[in-house]
Structure 1
Amino acid sequence: METPDLDTDTVSPGSYNCKLQGKRSESPAPSCISMKSDQSMDHPLHFKDRESSLLHRHDPESAAVNEFQTKFRLNLMKKFQCVNGVIINLGTQTLLNEIYTELYITEGDSGEVNNEHEVRQMEAASRRTTTEETPIKCNDIFKPLSEQDKPIRTVLTKGVAGIGKTVSVQKFILDWAEGKANQNIHLIFPLPFRELNLMNDQKLSLMELLHVCFKETKETEMSSLEKVLFIFDGLDECRFPLDFQNTVRVCDVTESASVQELLINLIKGNLLPSALIWITSRPAAADQIPSECVHRVTEVRGFNDPQKEEYFRKRISDQSLVNNIITHLKSLRSLYIMCHIPVFCWISATVLERMLGEAESGEIPKTLTQMYTHFLIIQTNIIREKYSKKLESDEGMLFKLGQLAFQQLKKGNLIFYEEDLRECGIDVREAAVYSGVCTQIFREDFGLQQSKVYCFVHLSVQEHLASLYVHLTFMKEKRNVLIQNQDSKERKNLYKKCSISEVHKSAVDQTLESQTGHLDLFLRFLLGLSLKSNQKLLHALVTQTGSSSQSIKETVQYIKKKISKDLPTEKSINLFHCLNELGDNSLVEKIQLYLKSGKLSKLSSSQWSALVFVLLTSAQELEEFDLSKYFSTDKITETVVVKMMPVIAASRKAIKQIQIDKQ
């Protein structure tokens, strides 16, 4: 199985030995954004030649520094030349340069903090026009736009989980280490937040921190190096507070302080003011860095539409099969939008290659729940075939992982430590077994000090397992784990009368109450798991799965009742996705009949929401939106325009010559 160009928000520097598979393929034509600078493409700089020239200078002190730099580069090449995410086969990894697919990166930011669920942001981004965006090459993020612009010291790169932030960091480092780009930088120090978390209780100087994390720095005096780059990857994974207002000022690289204090003083420029700083973060956590400390903001947008196709054509050799996969995904707008995320492309390729090929039979996945359940079954079957004697039952393993996924999802954590595992009854030795055999679901990473951190390969996998845990807990124990803060007697009475529809209602209410929408995708999965078709799939993994059709009808009616209220657009859109997961398209079909019949008359709140959902999730791109096609001119009021604003904003062109009667 091939590894995707994915960002599981980790680049583990622990694996030094790579077994290279296959022969080097031709590089594809660059799509939209090239990660190599123009200079490096025209004048490739061969690392070995550079190494030779560095080592043969006459100045002994300069030669020692250059020898250290050369050794440092070689170590970074060993650490980052392989994709340090999902293991393809036991004991083997693959070269990043072999499977890398270009990512779409833009410069600039609205300046607003976006706390919405990342799938909401992804859907909104997929509808956004690109005419006013400024694409930027990853290797150019520290270069001013013109000679008149001030030098750029600190860059903040945003992007949702799995969109490609960490892989962009990895490619930047590898291109530098290989001598292909940014050769004005003398040293690069990658310091992921997940590893800094493990050192936060220590007091040490910046030099001591570097000596601990990069042992080769002990061997040389680095004071003669003019420009270094610190990369702090995964700000959203930071588990210590960043107090920029009340932190002690530290200016000396030999002065001891906490990791938090060292980090803040580096970003502020008190420590090493000539150093470059690159911080990556999921959007919701990015506001921890004061705007005055950031000179450039970039956004990793994942794959645009041509890059999605390019990925599948690189990933699967059978082009006829690739065409069928692309056609299937394009016919399902909600799935095709998700393909902006490289990890989802990998999951889709893994599942659809089997389902549309000869290896599997059955219903082709049409919803997110179906896609992820098939993926879980495929991975579990691989585990079962290879490690049947080493693991407990599939059900026991998935239940514990699901509990971990659910508890940490509530806390907003993607990265887990040993104490998090123990809370869910997972022994560290069990975790080692899980991570050794579930590398495409759950992983154990070794940090700079060989310390251990754990994670699921992507937030959506965590959300799917969390929903599975909630579903199975009810089926096995008739317990709604979403209900909290009741006394034991009250909980006991609730459990007696509880049905799966009550669990669903709790989930719907909590999702709508959330200001950030962090449960949106979890809700889609939870509802989807109650369908008979998905429960048949689940029988391959667990024993008790079922729920009655009456319960599903109750859930559908409850969601429709919520839609009938005047909800914010994105919340109502997510509820329509939920109805889709439950197989109910009645509201959508009704509005489609209205559209076919001609002009629309007065619409209810549910019908307004259905109309917006239908237009936004249409397989056809909204090149031009003309309100008069849907409403008689005398019916186009200010209220109508406000209701249709999400569609107007998503269109490349809106007909503006409309007389609006204000109500």
Structure 2
Amino acid sequence: WSVFKLSFLHRDPRARIYVHQACQRIRPCHLLSPEGTSGRPPKRVKVKGIAGIGKSVAVQRLVYEWAIGKSMREFTCVFDLRFRELNLIEAPLSLLELLGERFRYLKPILCDLFSSPGSLLFILDGLDEFRFPLDWDGPGKNIDVDSKVPVSELMVALIKGSFLPEASVILTTRPSTVAPKHFFQRCCVVLGFEEDQVKEYTSKFYKDSEVAEKVYDYILNNDNLFVLSFIPLYCYIICTAMVEFFSSGTQDDGDSKSLELNPPRTVSEVYFCYLFTAVKHHALRGSADRSTPRSEVLSLAKQQLTNLGKMAYENLLQKKIMFDRADLEKYGVTPADVQSTFLCHILQPLKEETVEMFSFFHLTVQEHLAAIYCAINLFSQEDIIQALDFWCFGIRPPSSTAAPLQNTDLNMDKLESLQMFTRFFMGMLRARLAGHLDGLILSPMEQGDGIPATLGLWFQDQFKSRKLENQTALNLLHCLMEFHMKEATSIAAPEIKKLNLFKMKLSVVDCAAMHYVLQFSPHKLQELNLVTDFTSNCQIDCSSPVRLTITCIMKMNKWTAKNNVGLMFFYSLTV
């Protein structure tokens, strides 16, 4: 089982895949290139990456290059299937029916195509968005192209290779979603931008080269923004949010001073800055100008953002990310004004008709709006603790008057799908405590001054009393990072004696969260377990921010590169 690292440049075909052992660079079209030892191409490939890193864009580029005859010409047909669209399928169906509905122009020749399955490629994009349970360990069924089975069984059989083993499959997913590695002959990790690519993206984003240079310098001189900019979606959002402050002829001293004193530090703050900019300059065009206070802008958009946030949250619990007109009407959402800024209009083939559907333009936007809705509708410390118990560990709250806690219909198998949302919630809770959500708030927060200490004790208890899975532990570190309040982190961090991130493939943002929390611990970690797949290779991004982060952690704990007593970390690093 070979492991690759994939990075790509947005809107640029010069994507790269890094082999851990040799740092060999190959193009994304070589995801299915023959193995060096066996000489056989892998039939099942998994592409993993955190939210916004560019998994979907990478495989879309792959399809494009195949379509123009530039690469992968060994394939007669490529089927691009997205799990968010597969969520709409309720009744059992066969693969022939599925593909006949999705690709109607191919329906007459599908049987001919399946006569040579080795020439077919299936791209299955966004497993983390799939709402149906997946039984990886269940007994395999004898499935053929005519067998009618639930779509979840069809996907599992296709991924495992028990169905159409001769065909090739590329699967994309977030790291938090389980897809057992033994089904794959190759696994890739999307890393995102390198430093020079951040600069190139910034220069292409703005028409004015002077503005582009100012924004890039600003990102470069703010460590937190610099780390976030390695994620392509975050880089786009940062650039969009910075337009207001750096566009030629619009910047004033007040804007500059405000940005210098209060730069966005977390993913939540970057997204909120983007949301505010989008609402102010697009959704409320003509109703608000540059001088309109934030609270007034949010007040103007309050009802629309509340309705949109409620729809985002209640459907996130169900892993529902595509909506029809009836869904929008139920929540009082109209695809215009504020809502049109965040919703995409989709014409989806379904059975014998084309159905009008809507979705948020990225899953993280749905997660962020859901977090805002919860942050403005939880009014007490008890509500917040019950909500975190529910979202993080599936502990259903007792009866509550808080709107987000009245709908607790959640599949416990899907808790990992709420991890990004919980991080956004912590960031938006901090924004509420700081007064940044004024204009949206329905009622004042009870005992707001005591919330940081209460949350610090809650996090302390999780690290002390629970045997945390590595992904859950990492998510709690991210939550503390997003909350970004010294009082809470200072209470929780000393309880972290051991940190087990065994077999985790850490991104720059993961390392930043780890560094942020551990700096508040007064003692040396007993164990930092970053051991990878029993090899001598570290599966974390070794770009300079990560190298610096690990160096800082080692220095804080007085470790050296040769000290493996407290540091189970197989990576040669000079401190």
How does the TM-score come out when normalised to structure 1?
A: 0.60
Match of 2:264 among 342, 350, 366: 366
Matched, 1:464 2:365: no
The alpha-carbon deviation at position 563 of structure 1 amounts to 7.3
Q: Distance in 2 between matches of 1:572 and 1:211?
A: 44
Match of 1:194 in 2: 84
Q: 1:210 to 1:414 in 2, by over 3 A?
A: closer
Paired with 1:210 and 1:256, the residues of 2 have a C-alpha distance of: 13
Between stretches 133-142 and 277-286, larger displacement belongs to: 133-142
**Structure 1 residues 619 and 608, CA, compared in 2 at 3 Å: closer, same or farther?**
farther
Find the aligned partners of 1:353 and 1:167 in 2 and give their Cα distance. Answer: 24
Aligned positions of 1:485-564 closer than 5 A? 491=400, 518=420, 520-532=422-434, 534-535=436-437, 538-539=438-439, 542=440, 551-552=448-449, 554-559=450-455
Determine the C-alpha separation between the residues in 2 that align with 1:584 and 1:318. Answer: 42
Task: For 2:98, give the aligned amino acid.
Answer: L
Answer yes or no: is 1:294 the counterpart of 2:193: no
Q: Which residue pairs with 2:96 in the alignment?
A: 207
User: CA separation in 2, counterparts of 1:574 and 1:609?
Assistant: 20
1:577 to partner: Cα distance: 2.5
Equivalent residue for 2:343, pick from 442, 449, 460: 442
**1:227, distance to aligned residue in structure 2 (A):** 0.7
**3-state SS in 2 of match to 1:297:** strand
SS at match of 1:461: helix
Alignment identity in percent? Answer: 23
Task: Supply the AA of the counterpart residue of 1:526.
Answer: M
What amino acid maps onto 1:138 in structure 2? P
CA distance in 2, matches of 1:249, 1:297: 27
Deviation, 1:639, is 11
- Per-residue CA deviation, residues 564-623 of structure 1 (Å, 9 max, x unaligned), is 776688577546535636899999xxxxxxxxxxxxxxx99732489x99xx99979539
Displacement after TM superposition at 1:346 (Å) = 0.9
Match of 1:228 among 120, 126, 148: 120
Q: State the distance in 1 between where 2:330 and 2:345 align.
A: 10
Deviation at 1:405, TM superposition (A): 2.8
Query: Which residue does the alignment assign to 1:6?
Result: none
Deviates more, 1:266-275 or 1:461-470: 266-275
Change beyond 3 A, Cα 1:584–1:310: farther
Residue segments in structure 1 that go unaligned for 5+ positions in a row:
1-31, 36-95, 108-129, 496-502, 504-512, 588-602, 656-663
Q: Which residue of 2 aligns with 1:394?
A: 301
**Alpha carbons of 1:216 and 1:307: their partners in 2 closer, same or farther (altered >3 Å)?**
same
Q: Quick one: structure 1 residues 325 and 192, their matched pair in 2 at CA, closer, same or farther if it must change by over 3 Å?
A: same
Question: Aligned equivalents of 1:640 and 1:261: distance in 2?
Answer: 44
Query: 1:60: which partner in 2?
Result: none
Query: Shift of the alpha carbon at 1:317?
Result: 2.9
| 1:323 alignment partner, one of 200, 213, 227 | 213
Matched, 1:385 2:272: no
Aligned partners of 2:35 and 2:12: how far apart in 1? Answer: 26
Instruction: Give CA deviations for 1:436-473 in whole Å, capped at 9, x if unaligned.
Output: 86454233433343345543333443343223212322
Is the CA contact (8 Å cut-off) linking 1:103 and 1:307 kept in structure 2?
no
Using a 3 Å threshold, how does the CA distance of structure 1 residues 147 and 470 change in structure 2: closer, same or farther?
Answer: closer
One-letter amino acid matched to 2:321: I
2:313 to 398, 406, 416: 406
SS of equivalent residue, structure 2 residue 50: coil
SS at match of 1:207: helix
User: Structure 2 CA distance, aligned partners of 1:199 and 1:387?
Assistant: 41
**Offset, 1:211:** 2.2
Mapped partners of 2:300, 2:432: distance in 1: 22
The alpha carbon displacement at 1:234 in A equals 1.4
Q: Counterpart in 2 of 1:653?
A: 573
- Structure 1 pair 305–467 and aligned structure 2 pair: CA distance change class (3 A): same
Note closer, same or farther for the CA distance 1:623–1:291 as it changes in structure 2 (3 Å cut): closer
Cα distance in structure 2, aligned partners of 1:333 and 1:626: 14
**2:106 equivalent among 201, 213, 217:** 217
Label 1:579 to 1:167 Cα distance change in 2 as closer, same or farther (>3 A). Answer: closer
Distance of 1:626 and 1:255 partners within structure 2: 56
The one-letter amino acid paired with 2:481 is: H
Aligned CA distance change for structure 1 residues 296 and 487 (closer, same or farther; 3 Å):
closer
Quick check: 1:622 aligned with 2:548? Answer: yes
Give the 3 Å change call, closer, same or farther, for CA 481–468 of structure 1 in structure 2. Answer: farther
Amino acid at match of 1:178: I
Instruction: Indicate whether 1:278 and 2:170 are aligned.
Output: yes
More off after superposition, 341-350 vs 189-198: 189-198
Aligned residue in 2 for 1:510: none
1:260 and 1:622, CA in 2 relative to 1: closer, same or farther beyond 3 A? closer
The residue type equivalent to 2:219 in the other structure is: L
Separation in 1 of the partners of 2:553 and 2:22? 24
Partner Cα separation in structure 1 for residue 139 and residue 546 of structure 2: 52
Q: What is the CA–CA distance in structure 2 between the aligned matches of 1:323 and 1:209, rounded to whole Å?
A: 49
More strand by share: 2
Contact 1:370 1:534 survives alignment (8 Å): no
**Are the equivalent residues in 1 in contact too, given 2:47–2:173 (CA < 8 A)?**
yes
Judge conservation of contact 1:623–1:652 (CA < 8 Å) in 2. Answer: no
Instruction: Quote the Cα distance in structure 1 between the aligned partners of 2:360 and 2:321.
Output: 8
Provide the rounded CA distance (Å) in 1 between the counterparts of 2:544 and 2:31: 35
Contact 2:194 2:543 in 1 (8 A): no
Structure 2: 5+ residue stretches without partners:
1-5, 289-298, 391-395, 406-414, 492-517, 529-541
Q: Measure, in 1, the Cα distance between the counterparts of 2:486 and 2:133.
A: 41
2:132 to 240, 249, 255: 240
2:141 maps to amino acid: V
Q: Distance in 1 between matches of 2:519 and 2:104?
A: 67
Q: Distance in 2 between matches of 1:199 and 1:465?
A: 26
Q: Is the 8 A contact 1:157 1:300 kept in 2?
A: yes
Letter aligned with residue 294 of structure 1 = F
Contact 1:443 1:454 in 2 (8 A): yes
- Measured in 1, the distance between the counterparts of 2:549 and 2:270 equals 30
Residue deviations 1:515-550 (CA, integer Å, cap 9, x gap): 985555224323321344624xx54xx3658669x7
- Asked whether the 8 Å contact 1:531–1:582 carries over to 2, the reply is no
Contact 2:456 2:490 in 1 (8 A): no
Contact 2:456 2:487 in 1 (8 A): no
Contact 2:347 2:356 in 1 (8 A): yes
State the distance in 1 between where 2:429 and 2:442 align: 16
Match of 1:278, SS state, is: strand
- Spell out, residue by residue over 1:265-286, the C-alpha distance to the aligned partner (whole angstroms, 9 max, x if none): 4344454443211221122224
1:386-442 Cα distance to aligned partner (Å, 9 max, x none): 899xxx96211111221233334445x3624459x84xxx416954525x8645423
* Larger RCO, structure (CA 8 Å, separation 6 or more): 1
